[in-house]
Amino acid sequence: MKLLSLLCMMFSLYGFAQRPNVIYIMSDDHDAQAISAYDKSLLQTPSIDRIAREGIRFTRCFVGNSICSPARATLLTGQHSHKNGVKDNYTRFDSSRLTLPKRLQQAGYETALIGKWHLHSYPTGFDYWKILPGQGLYFDPRFINMQGDTITINGYATDVTTDEAISWLKQRRNSKPFVLLLHYKAPHRNFIPSLKYLEQFHTKTFAEPATLYADTAGRGSAWRMQTMSILRNMKLCSDLKVDPAYLQGDAENKPDEGEIAYYHATMNRIAEPDRSHIKAIYAERGKLLQQARPRGNELLKLKYQWYMQDYLACVASIDENVGRLLHYLDGSGLANNTAVMYTSDQGFYLGENGWFDKRFMYDVSMQTPLLMRWPHHIKPATTSNALVQNIDFAPTILNITGSPIPENMQGKSLVPLITGKKTDLKRPYLYYHYYEFPQDHTVLPHLGIRGERYKLIYFYTVKEWELYDLQTDPQEQKNLINSSQHQSLVNQLKKELQKLRDEYDDHEPAGDLH
């Protein structure tokens, strides 16, 4: 390995640099607000921030369908959901498609995928892969390897997934450049931190978002129907790990058998002595509930804090592991010629509107973090406010590797933005289409466009439109669709929406949208 690094360094010194490598890191449900490069109010993420400090941070990166499998299919194809066939989490990805990794292989790259996959078919186009089945497990995760065997690797998923990535990098023997997709399972629900970070976070108190206690009065059907409420839908036992023993005498909060079984199964995966320590911390939550019997907003107040403690502790593990990976790149001589991207499959509600989960076209869940470092190509500490979208990721990776971008990819390369050649992509509106209903949180299907200032949304199964002015109302609390001053804008935006539907060739629902 030492010899290999020495050779790499000699090649770059003498200008025989190989084509660049790319490491694409994608966490699951990691909201930008939980990255200190975006927002310092919740936690510090020094290692993820380092990518931005030495590279670029996108402040307006969005997805086209804010949910897991569709985002992953978009990464592979550079296409919106209606084109790549994966509109929801239950659809199998057609693995015979000519995807990003296959195109990279054709271009002479070595390709690898480690971590969450969630596309139901086996991965194709990767020289190496090791995936977490389904959503994956936090403790002692199971992986499916290329032989089709399911193996258990002891440890905490975020640590283990990073170990696997570093050992793949270490054992590489060929001289090809590589693209590695590293997909963390964390911080997906049910949020189960490692003891180290639970100990750090369980005593912290976090500022409440302004809309934590928002209610549904005066809101549209989709808002009223969603089941993303921390108060009503986040479960005490399975989500917040309150020991069911403490809830037995509380008729209103008594967990059902399924939840109790889930709680025990989850805890039993944690090896001792950590399990006992973790359970002791969570027992405190149970004791508090047993004594205080909080209801309504008082209960929400507690649930929100516990949610944040667990979610952010999961994020802290990711940050530590991103640090480990960057450190390995530094030490191995790979850092100089490797572009590193950090993103998530979409944003996530951290209590705004009283919610968790994603799905909605509102900015909280439509936005996704995007940070990139590529030494000698990206000026350190650059910020881009350009409207970019996850359909752009595949074209960007192809462009970095010097490979052609095929016609059927609907996104654009971000390389002109990251290298400072351009400041925007001449694409005034981004397209969005969400489908999955009623699973898992009864969010009605909708589509729409997002521009610099305005967002138009159409919940077509109930024929309800929404318009938001993101400049005066960034939290999207005031639907302006019936405002008389905005009617000509509404008509113009409807035309823009139709234009984008034609351009992207999306004809569902059929006919004109009224």
Question: By the 8 A CB rule, do 325 and 23 touch?
Answer: yes
C-beta nearest to ligand SGN: residue? 68
Residues making up the chain, counted from first to last = 514
Rounded to 5 degrees, what are φ and ψ at 145?
A: -100, 180
Binding footprint of ligand SGN, residue count (CB under 6 A) = 11
Nearer to Ca ion, 30 or 82 (CB): 30
Six token digits for residue 126? 């990767």
**Smallest gap, in angstroms, from Cβ of residue 187 to Ca ion?**
10
**Smallest gap, in angstroms, from Cβ of residue 108 to ligand SGN?**
33
Six token digits for residue 392? 């752009």
Work out whether 162 is an interface residue with ligand SGN (CB under 6 A). no
For residue 100, give the H/E element and its range.
Answer: helix 100-106
Nearer to ligand SGN, 20 or 187 (CB): 187
Among 239, 310, 345, 357, binds Ca ion (CB under 5 A): 345
Contact map string, positions 416 to 455, toward ligand SGN, x by CB under 6 A = ------------------------xx--------------
Which residue bears the tokens 């170990």?
163
DSSP, residue by residue, 296-342 = HHHHHHHHHHHHHHHHHHHHHHHHHHHHHHHHHHHHHT-GGGEEEEE
CA atoms within 13 A on the CB side of 156: 23
Nearer to ligand SGN, 27 or 338 (CB): 27
Cα distances from 381 to residues 53, 58, 376, 384, 418, in angstroms, run 4, 11, 13, 10, 11
Rounded to 5 degrees, what are φ and ψ at 440?
A: -90, -5
* Gap between the Cα atoms of 295 and 11, Å rounded: 66
The torsion angle over the Cα atoms of residues 31, 37, 40 and 43, rounded to 10 degrees, is 60
Binding partner of residue 440 among Ca ion, ligand SGN, none, CB cut-off 5 to 8 Å per kind: ligand SGN
Within 104-143, which residues bind Ca ion (CB under 5 A)? none
Nearer to ligand SGN, 191 or 206 (CB): 191
Among 189, 373, 450, 501, binds ligand SGN (CB under 6 A): 189
Six token digits for residue 482? 């019936």
Work out whether 310 is an interface residue with ligand SGN (CB under 6 A). no
Work out whether 259 is an interface residue with ligand SGN (CB under 6 A). no
Nearer to Ca ion, 66 or 413 (CB): 66
Which residue bears the tokens 């490797």?
338
Q: Where are the alpha helices (DSSP H) in 269-295?
A: 274-292
Work out whether 29 is an interface residue with ligand SGN (CB under 6 A). yes
Binding partner of residue 357 among ligand SGN, Ca ion, none, CB cut-off 5 to 8 Å per kind: ligand SGN
Binding partner of residue 89 among Ca ion, ligand SGN, none, CB cut-off 5 to 8 Å per kind: ligand SGN
User: Could you check whether the bond before residue 244 is cis, i.e. omega within 30 degrees of 0?
Assistant: no
- Mapping DSSP onto H, E and C, the string for 440-460 reads CCCCCCEEEEECCCEEEEEEC
Work out whether 68 is an interface residue with Ca ion (CB under 5 A). yes
Coil/strand/helix, residue 382: strand
Work out whether 54 is an interface residue with Ca ion (CB under 5 A). no
Rounded to a whole number, what is the distance in angstroms from the first to the last CA of the chain?
Answer: 63
- The stretch among 49-57, 176-184, 186-194, 274-282 that binds ligand SGN (CB under 6 A) is 186-194
Work out whether 190 is an interface residue with ligand SGN (CB under 6 A). yes
C-beta nearest to Ca ion: residue? 68
Work out whether 303 is an interface residue with ligand SGN (CB under 6 A). no
Nearer to ligand SGN, 74 or 382 (CB): 74
Among 21, 28, 64, 501, binds ligand SGN (CB under 6 A): 28
- The stretch among 184-192, 336-344, 397-405, 487-495 that binds ligand SGN (CB under 6 A) is 184-192
* Gap between the Cα atoms of 43 and 194, Å rounded: 16
Among 30, 130, 188, 202, binds ligand SGN (CB under 6 A): 188
Work out whether 318 is an interface residue with Ca ion (CB under 5 A). no
Work out whether 29 is an interface residue with Ca ion (CB under 5 A). yes
Q: How many CB atoms lie within 10 A of CB 136?
A: 22
Side chain identity, residue 52: A
Among 68, 302, 340, 418, binds ligand SGN (CB under 6 A): 68
Tell me which residues touch ligand SGN (CB under 6 A): 28-29, 67-68, 89, 188-190, 357, 440-441
Tell me which residues touch Ca ion (CB under 5 A): 28-29, 68, 345
